[in-house]
Structure 1
Amino acid sequence: MFSFLRMKRTLLAFSLGCAGLTHALAATSPLPPMGEIASQQIRHIATYFPGRMAGSPAELIAAEYLNQQFNKFGYQSNLRGFDTRYLYTSNDGKKDWHNIHATSVIAARAGEVPQQIIVMAHFDTYVPQSDADTNHNLGGLTLQGVDDNASGIGVMMELAERMQAIPTHYSLRFVALSAEETGAKGAEDFIKRMSAEEKKNTLLVINLDSLITGDKLYFNSGVNTSAAVAKLTRVRAINIAHSLGIPAESHAGTHCCDGLQALDDAHLPLLNVTATNYALGKKDGAQQRAISSHFPLGTARYQSQFDNLQYLDSALPGRIDKRARDSVKVLFPLLKGLAKPAKHA
């Protein structure tokens, strides 16, 4: 236990030290161009916290890093631990429950009223859930999870940093979930802990997931999200994107929120932002792009050899920076407008 705690403190101190210059400069000068903070965060998280499997040392260290970043931005941020489990299947068909203690991060800032907008992304990477997963090199200690989902976390962190100095009418909450890759347990835990009043006061949840590898950015509303809210969020986001020359679409009629079923079932208004390609015939958007020599399965998810910085920078040069920039260019004005509507500006 002593050696683990010492390793945790050492790695966290090192990772914070590497990020410290950026934020020290940001505190005394204007923020850098749109997307630059997100790109730096994506690369930092992928580099220093690979194998962020729920319940692992890397997950806890990453959670502490995110918690400290939110606190630096001026939010009230805390770690939220919870116990959960997942089913592991061996080659002989035997199934065993694996118990884990996962850690999410919840950051908040009060507005003029208690109604809130939540920005959410999961930061954990895939946990092998069978011998077959392990044999196919899915998940594990070496998975950087750049696309899934350092990308969503990086964009969320830039939104949090840009919003820190902006007074808002509605309250803001930024949520970095863990245990999403073990059956969406993080979202279930988050909903379970919300009071009826908190659910009633939640005007919108913006979820960010897998923004790099897919061909196109999609903005999809939840099944139980009203048409009025969809117009203010999904339609508005796509209009902002098109006005900036950024390709963006929605996939009407699809269940937007794989992994966020608990939120949709609770009738929280949802806007899911992801990059994929529904035109390829996969109704759930699981195939992110056309099958090619670079992406033989049409996806990078869970695959250590593809979802890493070196490979994505080589196979999709410039994509990480571009998607970070495009995502922030759309989501920052959207979030700012929603949190501080014109009549309260």
Structure 2
Amino acid sequence: MFSALRRSASWLVLGFFCSFSTLANTPEPGAIASAQARHIATVFPGRMTGTPAEMLAVEYVHQQFLKWGYKSNTRLFPASYLYNRRDGEKYKQHVTGSMAIAMHKGSSPQQIIIMAHVDTYAPLSDNDCDKNLGGLSLQGIDDNASGVGVMLELAERFKDTPTRYSIRFIATSGEEEGMLGAQDILQRMPLSERKNTLLVINLDSLITGERLYFNNGKNTPVAVRKLTRDRALSIAHQHGIAASTNPELNPRFPHATGCCNDADVFDNAGIPILSVEAADWTRGNKDDAQKRARNKALPKGESWHSVQYDNVPHLDKWLPGQIEARSRDVVRIMLPLVSELAKAG
């Protein structure tokens, strides 16, 4: 089936290495993902690119990969962002980001990449600080411990499963500064690896949004869309899970394509992508920014970048059970989908 793709073409961390060993045998999809997401959000808040929290979180993910028997490594990359002061002055902040990469080796040279960014928002202005956006206390359970949690569950569940195509798991960083980690990955890919990359699956912000969305890129071939986006929606509907795709209510964003995440880097390079997120493309400017109806708990209809809203206690209070339920739903869709695409067996 997947031949169409071929044609288209530290101590703190050490203390928690074994935190989830007892979850490996759980029959409930999503249990590992939600536990990992909660752990990353609460133990490593303020995961801004280049900070100790980001490096410790990346090291934690790396050690999880090693514990499951993967060949894994961490990688550093340069990053920078512009900060705007209240007096009008601007300065460039230079940092060094990090990421963790693990490979599940298949029997053929082709690969599927599954990625999620581990970093949280860094304030870009005095105004951001006034609004309590980003910073050292931002947990980022939605954006994007949730995506990393699902990626880790997929990695744990596939660790002993032979597949035809390799699966590369990547915890990226620098997403909040302009997808810098994803750009570093692409730039380091030799041409042969780009040609052999059948698909990039990006997991980002899976909790707060009203429903799940599966979108491809502007450059993803129709045949691949049927195997990825359409198949994901079919699996979701079989399970009674509310899922959709961008309905193109905003002409800036074509039907069934995503926006503004690490997947864009690979889409622009002509590599097929599948973007997985929770949102509501029918609200606000219909551009994926507003995640649900405005209410007392989420006055702007979203939680991203906000210390006040994107944290475990707040979402547990106002969206009780959502972290577990959404993690379960995403994993229930992604497990059979990735199994089909990678030709597991």
TM over 0.5, shorter chain: yes
What is the CA-CA distance between 1:14 and the residue it aligns to?
A: 2.5
What CA distance in whole angstroms lies between the structure 1 residues aligned with 2:259 and 2:101? 20
Residue 23 of structure 1 pairs with residue 21 of structure 2: yes
Show structure 2 runs of 5+ residues with no match: 1-9, 248-253
Q: Is the 8 A contact 1:117 1:173 kept in 2?
A: yes
Question: TM-score scaled by structure 2?
Answer: 0.93
Letter in 2 for 1:174: F
Letter in 1 for 2:272: P
Residue 265 of structure 2, aligned match among 259, 262, 267: 262
Aligned to 1:12: 13
What CA distance in whole angstroms lies between the structure 1 residues aligned with 2:122 and 2:318? 25
Question: TM-score scaled by structure 1?
Answer: 0.93
What CA distance in whole angstroms lies between the structure 1 residues aligned with 2:83 and 2:192? 37
Aligned to 1:317: 320
SS in 1 for 2:15: helix
Residue 197 of structure 2, aligned match among 202, 210, 217: 202
The superposition leaves residues 50-77 of structure 1 with CA deviations (integer Å, 9 ceiling, x where unpaired) of: 0000000000000100000011112111
What is the CA-CA distance between 1:24 and the residue it aligns to?
A: 5.1
Letter in 2 for 1:258: C
Letter in 2 for 1:244: H
What is the CA-CA distance between 1:100 and the residue it aligns to?
A: 0.1
Aligned to 1:105: 100
1:1-345 matches, within 5 Å, as: 9-16=10-17, 20-23=18-21, 26=24, 30-252=25-247, 253-254=254-255, 255-260=257-262, 261-340=264-343, 345=345
What CA distance in whole angstroms lies between the structure 1 residues aligned with 2:36 and 2:20? 10
Q: Between the two proteins, what is the percent identity of the paired residues?
A: 52
The superposition leaves residues 174-208 of structure 1 with CA deviations (integer Å, 9 ceiling, x where unpaired) of: 01100101111111111111111111001111100
Q: Is the 8 A contact 1:159 1:328 kept in 2?
A: yes
Q: Is the 8 A contact 2:182 2:265 kept in 1?
A: yes
Q: Is the 8 A contact 1:37 1:154 kept in 2?
A: yes
What CA distance in whole angstroms lies between the structure 2 residues aligned with 1:98 and 1:130? 12
Q: Is the 8 A contact 2:138 2:306 kept in 1?
A: yes
Aligned to 2:6: none
SS in 2 for 1:153: helix
More displaced, 208-217 or 276-285? 276-285
What CA distance in whole angstroms lies between the structure 2 residues aligned with 1:282 and 1:228? 30
Q: Is the 8 A contact 1:213 1:300 kept in 2?
A: yes
What is the CA-CA distance between 1:10 and the residue it aligns to?
A: 2.7
User: Number of residues paired by the alignment?
Assistant: 328
Q: Is the 8 A contact 2:259 2:288 kept in 1?
A: no
What is the CA-CA distance between 1:282 and the residue it aligns to?
A: 2.4
What is the CA-CA distance between 1:291 and the residue it aligns to?
A: 0.8
Aligned to 1:3: none
Aligned to 2:3: none
Letter in 1 for 2:170: V
What is the CA-CA distance between 1:13 and the residue it aligns to?
A: 2.3
